[in-house]
């Protein structure tokens, strides 16, 4: 499948105009989801995990598989991962109140990373959670340090108990304070917030299964 990367960039620029930054109300019984993808060649396996806010027990787990995904292009991760995420989200019994995406949101050259793309397309509050910085300057004088793009605070760097850094950014329909609070309150003693920690674990475990088993997936 031939991809027109110029059109893909234009699509990002147009969709970025639809991003909303607004306060998110989270309650004790709110649902928080996490999604991550593991690969075998160009086959992607997405795992989605949903939990009650502040809980460590999954209440819903879904998987999806997509073959022949395009290669990763910096800044255009959505082309590779959005099809798998879309497939797994289509299976949900109930939308989460907020979705954590293993990727970036506004901390992106066009302020339209994977988390923002998923948020806008699915009309759901999203937060980007990544292990590395893709784009932006760091304001180290803030606590926590802030990620700045075009003079706007779009993300923050959080440090886990194991001294690993997480690069959090606004996806869609959340404020930066929301994003920081939500990640912190669902991080526990892990290197990732619990929903993504489980999704990462389950997707990696699943991709290790025999191809024969994977090929039975729809």
Q: What pLDDT score does 3 carry? A: 86
Q: What is the mean pLDDT of residues 167-173?
A: 98
Per-residue pLDDT tens over the stretch 16-37: 999 999 999 998 899 999 999 9
SS3 annotation, the chain:
CCCCHHHHHHHHHHHHCCCCCCCCCCCCCCEEEEEEEEEECCEEEEEEEEEECCCCCEEEEEEEEECCCCCCCCCCHHHHHHHHHHHHHCCCCCCCCEEEEECCCCCCCCCCCHHHHHHHHHCCCEEEEECCCCCCEEECCCCCCEEEECCEEEEEEEECCCCCEEEEEEEECCCHHHHHHHHHHCCCCCCCCHHHHHHHHHHHHHHCCCHHHHCCCC
Q: What is the mean pLDDT of residues 68-74?
A: 92
Burial of 13 (0-12, 13-18, 19+ CB in 10 A): exposed
Residue with the two structure tokens 């929903």: 195
Give the mean pLDDT of the chain. 94
- Say which CATH architecture domain 5-214 belongs to: 2-Layer Sandwich (3.30)
CB-hemisphere CA count at 13 Å for 3?
16
pLDDT at residue 61 tops 50: yes
Q: What pLDDT score does 213 carry? A: 57
Share of the chain above pLDDT 70, in %: 95
Order across the sheet with 126-130: list the strands.
58-66, 43-52, 31-40, 98-102, 126-130, 165-172, 152-159, 146-149, 137-139
Q: What is the mean pLDDT of residues 3-10?
A: 94
pLDDT at residue 215 tops 70: no
pLDDT at residue 201 tops 70: yes
Q: What pLDDT score does 218 carry? A: 44
pLDDT at residue 153 tops 80: yes
pLDDT at residue 200 tops 90: yes
Position 211 confidence tier, pLDDT thresholds 50, 70, 90: low
pLDDT at residue 216 tops 70: no
* The pair of three-digit structure tokens given for residue 73, joined into one six-digit string: 């292009």
Q: What pLDDT score does 28 carry? A: 84
Contact 37, 48 (CB under 8 A): no
């Amino acid at each position: 499948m031939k991809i027109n990367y110029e059109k893909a960039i234009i699509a990002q620029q147009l969709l970025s105009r639809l991003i909303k930054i607004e306060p998110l109300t989270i309650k004790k019984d709110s649902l928080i989801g996490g999604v991550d993808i593991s690969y075998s060649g160009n086959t992607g396996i997405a795992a989605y995990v949903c939990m009650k806010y502040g809980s460590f027990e999954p209440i819903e787990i879904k998987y999806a598989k997509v073959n022949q995904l395009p290669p990763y292009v910096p800044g255009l991760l959505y082309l590779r991962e959005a099809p798998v995420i879309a497939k797994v989200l289509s299976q949900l019994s109930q939308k989460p109140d907020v979705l954590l995406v293993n990727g970036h949101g506004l901390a992106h050259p066009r302020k339209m990373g994977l988390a923002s793309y998923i948020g806008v397309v699915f009309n759901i509050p999203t937060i980007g959670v990544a292990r590395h910085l893709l784009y932006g300057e760091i304001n180290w004088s803030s606590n926590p340090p802030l990620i700045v793009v075009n003079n706007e605070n779009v993300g923050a760097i959080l440090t886990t108990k194991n001294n690993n850094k997480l690069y959090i950014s606004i996806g869609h329909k959340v404020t930066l304070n929301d994003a920081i609070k939500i990640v912190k309150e669902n991080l526990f003693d892990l290197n990732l917030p619990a929903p993504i920690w489980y999704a990462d674990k389950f997707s990696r475990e699943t991709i290790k299964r025999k191809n024969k088993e994977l090929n039975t997936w729809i």
